[in-house]
Amino acid sequence: MARFFERIAGTVVLASGQPSAFIIALAIIIIWAVTGPLFHWSDTWQLVINTGTTIVTFLMVFLIQNAQNRDASAIQAKLDELIRSVGKARNEFIGIEHLSERELVALLKTLEELAGDESSHRLAIARLIGSR
């Protein structure tokens, strides 16, 4: 079941990101708007577009979240491999995405303290930006 969902989700997310998907959605909205006078701007006419967009939005939330989860996992695996492959990198950083928010903030604060004072960072960044 999971493999089936991943295959469908991948296909739908890929297709929904294409210009043709936008054109189709725009065409549906235009057709709906043009038919307004035909249906006398009725409540049912309005309900059709409201219900349709609500259903599509509801389903797309899950599909997009699935795609983002897969992308984040792939990026994390790549970063872990880079950490593992670089000689002076600390392998302890592999898997830190599983830490709690509080643990991550504490780690970030420690790393910033190890890196030096903030003013030297600002100067280094200013030099970097100025060199472009």
Choose between 130 and 21: higher pLDDT: 21
Evaluate if pTM is beyond 0.75.
Answer: no
Average pLDDT over residues 57-78: 91
- CA 107 to each of CA 18, 35, 77, 111: distance values in angstroms, whole numbers, following the listed order: 40, 58, 20, 6
What whole-number percentage of the chain has pLDDT above 70? Answer: 98
| Average pLDDT value for the chain | 88
pLDDT at position 132: 61
**Each residue of 77-93: pLDDT tens digit?**
998 888 888 878 888 88
Average pLDDT over residues 17-44: 95
Contact 67, 7 (CB under 8 A): no
Highest mean pLDDT (candidates 8-12, 21-25, 71-75): 21-25
Exposed (0-12), middle (13-18) or buried (19+): which is 28, by Cβ within 10 Å?
middle
